[in-house]
Structure 1
C-alpha cells in the first residue's frame, strides 16, 4: 500500500503543476503592469507558494492519518484539494482574462476557504491547523497586492 503522504504529495504536485499552462502572450500582459514600490519580494513568490503547498500537504496528511477514509476526512480532503485548485487558478485565470479583478476574486475566495478549512481542522489536530497558517498569512498579502495592482493599473482591472 502506498503511504498517504506520498499520495497527498503527488496530488499536490500534479495540481500545482497544472498552473504552468500559461501562454507567453499572457505573461507579457502581466509583466507590463505597474507594481507597488514595496513589492520587492516578487522573485520569492514561487518559493513562498512552494513552502505553503508543502505545509498544506503535510496538514492534509495529518488529518488523513487521524481518521483515514472516514466520510469527514474525505470531505476535508476535498476541501484541501479545492483550496489548492482555487489557489493555482489565480495566475492562469487572471492572465487568461487579463483581469486583475478576476485574480482578486479568486484570491478572496481562497482566503475564505482557507479560514473555513483551518476552523474545520482545528478539532482534529492543532498541528494540522498550524500548518495552514502560512496560507492564512500569505493569502491576504496576495489579495492585497492584487488590489494595489488594480489601483495602479485601473485599465487592467
Structure 2
C-alpha cells in the first residue's frame, strides 16, 4: 500500500523538478542581472528552498494524517500544492517574461498564500504550523531581494 507521505513527497518532488525546465536563454538572462551587494548567500538559496519544501511536505503530511480524506484536508492539500506551484513558478515565469516586477508579484503572492495556509493549519496542528515558519521567514527575503533587483536593473523591471 502506498503511504500518504510517499504521495505527498512524490507530488512535492515532481512539482519542484519543474524548476529544472527553465531554458538556458532564460537562465542566462537571470544570471546576468545585478544583485544587491548584501546578497552574499546566493549559493545557499537552493539548499534553503530544499529545506523549506521538505518542511512544507512534512507539514502537509501531518495535516493529512489528522483528518485523512476529509473535504477540509483535501482543500488544504490543494492550498499546499498551490503554494508550491506559485513558488516554483517564480523563477520560470519571471525569466520567461524577463520581468523582475512579475517576480516580485509572484513572490508576494506566495507569501500571502503561505499566511492563509498557516492560519488554516494552526487550528489543526501546532507542529504543522511550525513547519511552515521557514517559508514565512524566507519568502519576504526573496521577494525583497527581487524588488531590490528591480531598482538595480531598471531595464528588466
TM > 0.5: yes
Report the Cα distance in structure 1 between the residues aligned to 2:136 and 2:148, rounded to whole angstroms: 19
Report the Cα distance in structure 2 between the residues aligned to 1:110 and 1:100, rounded to whole angstroms: 15
Measured after TM superposition, the shift of residue 146 of structure 1 is 0.3
Report the Cα distance in structure 2 between the residues aligned to 1:31 and 1:74, rounded to whole angstroms: 38
Report the Cα distance in structure 1 between the residues aligned to 2:28 and 2:149, rounded to whole angstroms: 15
TM-score by length of 1: 0.99
Query: Which residue of the partner structure matches residue 40 of structure 1?
Result: 40
86-95 or 24-33: bigger deviation? 24-33
How many aligned positions are there? 157
C-alpha deviations, 1:58-113, integer Å up to 9, x for none?
A: 00000000000000000000000000000000000011011001100100000000
Query: Which residue of the partner structure matches residue 50 of structure 1?
Result: 50
Equivalent position SS for 2:52: helix
Report the Cα distance in structure 1 between the residues aligned to 2:9 and 2:84, rounded to whole angstroms: 12
Report the Cα distance in structure 2 between the residues aligned to 1:83 and 1:27, rounded to whole angstroms: 23
Report the Cα distance in structure 2 between the residues aligned to 1:41 and 1:35, rounded to whole angstroms: 11
Aligned pairs for 1:16-31 (under 5 A) are: 16-31=16-31
Measured after TM superposition, the shift of residue 30 of structure 1 is 1.2
Report the Cα distance in structure 2 between the residues aligned to 1:6 and 1:149, rounded to whole angstroms: 38
C-alpha deviations, 1:122-141, integer Å up to 9, x for none?
A: 00001000000000000000
**Structure 1 segments unaligned to the other structure (5+ residues):** none
Moved over 6 A (4+): none
Aligned pairs for 1:51-66 (under 5 A) are: 51-66=51-66
**Structure 2 segments unaligned to the other structure (5+ residues):** none
Query: Which residue of the partner structure matches residue 85 of structure 2?
Result: 85
Query: Which residue of the partner structure matches residue 108 of structure 1?
Result: 108
